[in-house]
Amino acid sequence: GQQLNQSPQSMFIQEGEDVSMNCTSSSIFNTWLWYKQDPGEGPVLLIALYKAGELTSNGRLTAQFGITRKDSFLNISASIPSDVGIYFCAGQGEGGGSNYKLTFGKGTLLTVNP
């Protein structure tokens, strides 16, 4: 099946620093999604990207859909303690009919030191 490589696996940063994480795939995706998961909760959608080259922001978060459609990155600027959590990328293929399955990266664990 399709595989997503998400890096880094974990990050430990100081409050106020910027953060960057990315996902790469051997397959082309039509949609890239970024989620954040807090302990004991489900993933929450942060940003959705639908076009190659698209750059989208959500507050301090910025994500881009790679030109090749095989990669995406997420940046967090001026990190704060509540940014702590696991960040997942997910790619969605063209599907067709009833088949629009998501492929998830294994996550980036972010720790922010106040």
In the complex with other proteins, which residue's Cβ is closer, 84 or 104? 104
- Nearer to other proteins (CB atom), residue 37 or residue 75: 37
CB 83 within 8 A of CB 112: yes
Q: How far is the CB of 37 from other proteins (least distance, A)?
A: 8
* Closest approach of other proteins to the CB of residue 20, in Å: 20
Binding site for other proteins (CB under 8 A): 1, 30-31, 33, 35, 40-45, 48, 88, 90, 92, 95, 98-102, 104-107
In whole angstroms, how close is the CB of 43 to other proteins at the nearest point? 5
Tokens of 79: 């990190």
Chain mean position to CA 53: 15
Which residue, 13 or 109, has its beta carbon nearer to other proteins? Answer: 109
Q: Where are the beta strands (DSSP E) in the chain?
A: 4-7, 10-14, 19-25, 31-37, 44-49, 55-58, 61-65, 71-76, 85-92, 102-104, 108-113
Nearer CB in complex with other proteins: 81/95: 95
